[in-house]
Structure 1
């Protein structure tokens, strides 16, 4: 939980591309961005799956 909160604060200050690289907890924002960039679509799906696995534990 604390990691996600820290990532969220970093995400606000970081650029969107930087947030994708750091795999921030706000992957949903990255996923909506992927609708505009179809090249990043599969990346966003992977990060989303990672986040779901981490949060389920």
Structure 2
């Protein structure tokens, strides 16, 4: 691949440089997290990378 071909591929996959609109999927776990909004302790949300953990916050 040439340098220009590589850059073209990278630009397509660059989520920070492209303003792609993503569909937010409603999940059951969001309601569970919201039920803890007045809780003053530590809440741990764990899961795979890029699964929307920060989006829910």
TM (norm. structure 1) is: 0.27
Task: Name which structure has the greater RCO, CA cutoff 8 Å, separation 6+.
Answer: 1
**Rg larger in structure:** 2
**Greater share of helix residues, 1 or 2?**
1
